[in-house]
């Protein structure tokens, strides 16, 4: 049926770390049966524990990655450099794509963009244009550099378009496509709603809190982590705390874990979102959780000074907090509204753009 030269265009979807898998899954499923493209998943290997990676592939119905770069952990320079070398090798020796799709703001987003651009490959950044304006965050550097060299900028909200235009990106390179994380939720909604995982922990709906922490500024210093946990002990609810591997080592050194804290291993996507959907509120330093809670109308208190996702504050259920004002702020939760185009149809919009661009 397909007849544009009868050559399928090869599309690489790059993923590396936990939040990336929810972003590539809707796009993979939307493209996998199209006769005009050959969509391939490239996993750089930044996250490798079962619960940080394969659990998400299983939950989201993703096949094994077509290419695995086995990069693993390391300093920022090591991880970025190793990813660049491995991805360049893949493109040169095995499989040169017609389009590279990078998502979010992890080290692989930056590394694969640089490697691909120097091979003159076309790059699209999904979740482009977000800015925290805090250059001490590694993710901000990854976002700025990626956006400065990619060809297509697919944004989740109007503020991202404005940031890109201010930085000199041409309007025709920018498409407001909506929020791909919401596509992942909509895709898995039935399974999430059936799960009721809170019962497994002996909890009641709306009567518990979720805490997640993994930002270096909050968890790399034992003092900061201890302070946050001390504040959590003053919350008059049970607090479920799925512990990111980065947080684990410092948590082991904390002398006294508050009695109302339920410390658990990281959860897969369905379990985690099911737990969030039924929580009273969430305390977190994550990027993606700010968006997921906004969509679900669950109050979110983000333990950071800045956010690259301001729409979750202006429209959504998110508030920035610090360790000193946390206990006051949780007295005033808000539910907010869902931003425009966070409707589960982002992957379809992107598919249309890709086809038009690849066969122009």
Q: Which residues bind ligand UD1 (CB under 6 A)?
A: 17-19, 46-49, 52, 73, 105-107, 138-139, 214, 244-246, 287
The residue among 178 and 287 lying less far from ligand UD1, judged by its C-beta, is 287
Q: Is 214 one of the annotated active-site residues of the chain?
A: yes
Choose between 287 and 344: whose C-beta lies nearer to ligand UD1: 287
Choice among 29, 66, 214, 244 that is catalytic: 214
Strand order in the sheet with 281-284: 261-264, 238-242, 208-212, 281-284, 300-302, 318-320
Nearer Cβ to ligand UD1 (48/343):
48
Q: Is 29 exposed, middle or buried (0-12, 13-18, 19+ CB in 10 A)?
A: middle
Residue 161 or 218 having the CB closest to ligand UD1: 218
CB of 242 to ligand UD1, least distance (A): 11
Which residue, 246 or 345, has its beta carbon nearer to ligand UD1? 246
Q: Which is nearer to ligand UD1, 122 or 304 (CB)?
A: 304
* Residues identified as active-site: 214
């Amino acid at each position: 049926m397909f007849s544009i030269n009868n050559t399928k265009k090869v599309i690489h979807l790059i993923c590396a770390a936990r939040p990336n898998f929810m972003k590539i899954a809707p796009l993979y499923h939307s493209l996998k049966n199209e006769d005009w493209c050959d969509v391939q998943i490239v996993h750089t290997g930044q996250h490798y524990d079962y619960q940080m990676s394969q659990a998400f592939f299983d939950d989201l119905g993703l096949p094994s990655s077509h290419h695995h770069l086995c990069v693993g952990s390391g300093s920022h320079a090591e991880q970025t450099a190793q990813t660049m070398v491995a991805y360049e090798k893949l493109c040169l020796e095995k499989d040169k794509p017609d389009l590279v799709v990078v998502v979010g703001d992890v080290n692989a987003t930056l590394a694969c963009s640089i490697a691909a651009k120097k091979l003159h490959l076309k790059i699209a950044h999904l979740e482009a244009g977000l800015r925290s304006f805090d250059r001490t965050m590694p993710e901000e550097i990854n976002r700025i550099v990626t956006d400065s060299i990619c060809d297509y900028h697919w944004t989740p909200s109007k503020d991202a378009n404005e940031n890109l235009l201010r930085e000199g990106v041409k309007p025709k390179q920018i498409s407001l496509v909506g929020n791909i994380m919401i596509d992942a939720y909509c895709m898995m909604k039935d399974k999430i709603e059936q799960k009721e995982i809170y019962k497994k922990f002996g909890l009641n709906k709306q009567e518990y809190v979720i805490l997640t922490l993994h930002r270096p500024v909050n968890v790399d210093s034992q003092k900061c982590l201890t302070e946050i946990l001390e504040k959590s002990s003053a919350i008059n609810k049970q607090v479920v705390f799925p512990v990111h591997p980065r947080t684990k080592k410092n948590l082991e050194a904390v002398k006294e874990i508050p009695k109302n804290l339920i410390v658990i291993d990281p959860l897969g996507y369905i379990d985690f979102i099911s737990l969030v959907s039924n929580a009273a509120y969430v305390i977190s330093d994550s990027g993606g959780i700010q968006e997921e809670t906004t969509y679900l109308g669950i109050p979110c208190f983000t333990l950071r000074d800045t956010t690259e996702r301001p729409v979750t504050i202006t429209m959504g259920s998110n508030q920035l907090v610090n360790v000193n004002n946390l206990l006051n702020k949780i007295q005033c939760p808000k539910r907010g509204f869902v931003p425009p185009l966070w409707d589960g149809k982002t992957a379809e919009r992107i598919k249309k753009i890709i086809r038009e661009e690849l066969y122009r």
